[in-house]
Structure 1
Amino acid sequence: MLCVYIFLVLALSRVGLSSLQDKQTDFGLKVFYQLAQESTDKNVVLSPYGVASVLAMAQLGANGNTSKALTTAMGFSLQERGMLRQQWLLQRGLSTEEGVEIANGVMVERKMNLEKRYHRTLAKAFKTNPHQVDFTKPDQAISVINAWVSDHTAGLIPEFLQSGSLTDQTRLILLNALHFQGLWKIPFDPKLTQERMFHCANGSTVPVHMMRITNRFNYGEFVTADGVDYDVIEVPYEGDLLSMLLVSPFEPEVPLSTLSADLSSQKIRQWRTELRNVRRQLALPRFTLDSEVNLKTALVNMGLGDIFNPATADFTRITCKSTFLLNVHLSGVTVVPEVQQVIYQSESWRFDP
């Protein structure tokens, strides 16, 4: 088992924008830590931006104690003055990077009227307008949603939702899709790929195909608050604005949860400040990761249990006609072939009466 966290590292100059990005990253990392705790026997792939964005769309429709709970757990609120524009600037900044595509979608029951203010705030913050769907025909609605996800992930997630995952009671779906495809700045030579032993998290070893390269990388050695030594190496993509940070403990028996508990936007900034350009040999397993998780348990553990309770959840800023029950679902895949890397992820948040 190899638990992996993959993130995009971007340098955005605006102070307010950087602050929002840090808060969204911190929230996403807290969600990731919860998922990693629950998934000790499988890989986990997560987009902090995707989780934060789609939950922010739900936050825009929350009212009363539900709004307060979401703001407390997330560490920011798009309902505050000026935040809608900051969210739009952040999304635009990410989307303009070469190879990155981000899309947010809202699928709404065709006979349901959304609050005009909710409609406007979605457009301002996420540049998205609701798509009308006939949820009384669940299989047809699933086809529409799967087509949307496929279109925004270069066809790499053709069946995001399976038959039976929706009911005729579903009234609204919030979606986020992130797709990235880029070439490594320094490509791996396929001729150097060899089979070597890989140390799994459960203590076993398995033979895998290891890509190898010797070159200059940004590299650093660090220690957690609990005294665990680990190192970080940065592998850049073409253009140098995007990179993959690989983090691993020195000792193979150290659980990865020890490192994931220490993740934060501040920690990532520290890494990037203290990394030094040195010559290193990098051996990276050739891998494909599929990750599908239900976020409900993670969010409940973070104090958001009431948003899943129809007696306490208040999403009347979406529509005042019904009480909604929130369900969440996430699916993502990461592919790392010899010379390029692809990340794509999609999430959905379902509201049922």
Structure 2
Amino acid sequence: MNWHFPLLLVLGTLTSVCSQFSFYPLEELSSDVGIQVFNQIVKAKPQDNVVVSPHGIASVLGVLQLGADGKTKKQLTTMMRYSVNGVGKALKKINRLIVSKKNKDIVTIANAVFAKNGFKMEVPFVTRNKEVFQCSVKSVDFEDPNAASDSINLWVKNETRGMIDQVVAPEDIDVGLTRLVLVNAVYFKGLWKSRFRPENTKKRPFHGADGKTYQVPMLSQLSIFRCGTTSTPNELWYNIIELPYHGEMISMLIALPTESTTPLSAIIPHISTKTIGSWMTTMVAKRVQVILPKFTAEAETDLKDPLKALGITDMFDQSKANFAKITRTEGLHVSRVLQKTKIEVSEDGTKASAATTAILIARSSPPWFIVDRPFVFFIRHNPTGTILFMGQINKP
């Protein structure tokens, strides 16, 4: 009898925001995988807040690709557009650059395989994942779902500095069938290079995607930012701005339609890493008054349907999934791919330097960049072009 056992994938991601570019073509491909998944999610949830980690999605798919064989591997490779085995050294270098202390802002990325006690995995799978993704292997007792989920959640809580404390519930674990749980955690905390003063935060109107207007706390700052206006191929114009973090390696990029009558959904499908790269070369620095919502967004998303829509289907089908490079003793298939993401954006009003205060003094009326309607954001590691996080905010 050919038994197949479910494989649960969990991605825990968060970012806390208190407050010359080169590209690796490989990382553009890697981030585009996550952007494609994001596009599928927002199609199904056009009026919801959606937050994902493209880098986290690509990492877990990379781990799976190393364990897949046959058509299952082909589907993963076709969608990702690269083979992990062929670019392992480059992926390892990219990951090291992202978490480097040179960033000043804090970025941690952790991957782990939680395996059933006694479950034997192929040595090349374990070794290669450790080399490329720094993926650790931990044994747990899936016969006790409460204890197993507690172990996984504690690991995620530690890796995300306590911001995400649960990604797996006991009911997600099948006592008789669960063999592996793959987990990815991404944590980012950055201080704005030019911080927002708390006394300037006021409630202002935000026009939600549902047609309602909400009074929400808005950050406000007059400073020098790189910004610009561009258009989709069918000439729908939208505004873009870069808000750098204090280490200057990572930035938040915000885009929203120029005209309030243009829905956010009209510009999102146009955006890719190539598009974002073009923003970085065309934006110009100018003194501008920025009005930005102070917000927290948290989302838990099952990525199974978006991935299936993009052609990755066999790994979810117990009659077709082929993970022979993980184990040859039992058949495995993926039951769910969960990503939990949290982002917090605030002023970080601890200090305001004299230089910042000087910049805030206006002699003439500056242009305004007001984010008072649905927008899309990206948190980008600029030296590599990696998109760590992205999201659409319809209601702060």
> Normalised by the size of structure 2, how large is the TM-score?
0.80
Residue in 1 that maps onto 2:237: 229
Greater relative contact order (CA < 8 Å, ≥ 6 in sequence): 2
State the distance in 2 between where 1:154 and 1:129 align: 18
2:93 to 82, 89, 97: 89
Query: Which aligned pairs between 1:70-109 and structure 2 lie closer than 5 A?
Result: 70-80=76-86, 83-96=87-100, 97-98=103-104, 99-109=106-116
Distance change in 2, residues 1:57/1:144 (3 Å): same
In the alignment, structure 1 residue 182 sits paired with structure 2 residue 190: yes
Answering whether residue 258 of structure 2 is matched by residue 250 of structure 1, we say yes
**Following TM superposition, where does structure 1 have runs of at least 4 consecutive aligned residues deviating by more than 4 angstroms?**
none
Equivalent-residue separation in structure 2 for 1:213 and 1:132 (angstroms): 50
The corresponding residue for 2:4 is none
From 296, 306, 314, the counterpart of 2:314: 306
1:150 and 2:157 correspond: yes
Residue 129 of structure 1 aligns to a residue whose secondary structure is: strand
Alignment pair present for 1:52 and 2:61: no
Query: 1:100-139 alignment to 2 at 5 Å?
Result: 100-139=107-146
Q: Which runs of 5+ in 1 are unaligned?
A: 1-5, 346-353
| Alignment-derived partner of residue 213 in structure 1 | 221
Distance in 1 of aligned mates of 2:40 and 2:274: 19
Matches of 1:46 and 1:258, distance apart in 2: 19
**Which of 68, 75, 92 does residue 74 from structure 2 map onto?**
68
Query: CA shift at 1:173, angstroms?
Result: 1.1
Following the alignment from structure 2 to structure 1, what is the Cα–Cα distance between the partners of residues 321 and 208?
Answer: 41
Offset of 1:41 from its aligned partner? 2.8
* CA RMSD after TM alignment: 1.9
Match of 1:19 among 15, 22, 25: 25
CA shift in 2, pair 1:300/1:22, >3 Å:
same
Q: What percent of counterpart residues are identical?
A: 34
Partner amino acid for 2:127? R
Q: Distance in 1 between matches of 2:178 and 2:44?
A: 28
Q: How does 1:193-204 map to 2 (within 5 A)?
A: 193-204=201-212
Amino acid at match of 1:120: T
What is residue 37 of structure 2 aligned with on the other side?
A: 31
Q: Deviations over 1:8-55 (max 9, x none)?
A: 9xx885x7xx12111101111101101111112311111111000011
For the residue of structure 1 that corresponds to 2:331, the secondary structure is: coil
Question: Secondary structure, in 3 states, of the residue corresponding to 1:303?
Answer: coil
Tell me how far apart the structure 1 counterparts of residues 327 and 128 of structure 2 sit (CA, whole Å). 14
Q: TM-score, length-normalised on structure 1?
A: 0.90
Q: Which runs of 5+ in 2 are unaligned?
A: 1-14, 350-378, 380-387, 390-396
**Secondary structure class of the residue paired with 2:322:** coil
Deviation at 1:255, TM superposition (A): 2.1
- Offset from partner CA, 1:233-266 (integer Å, 9 cap, x none): 0001102111100101012232222221011111
Count of residue pairs brought into register by the alignment: 331
For 1:318, the equivalent position in structure 2 comes to 326
Q: In structure 1, give the amino acid aligned to 2:90.
A: Q
Higher strand content, 1 or 2: 2
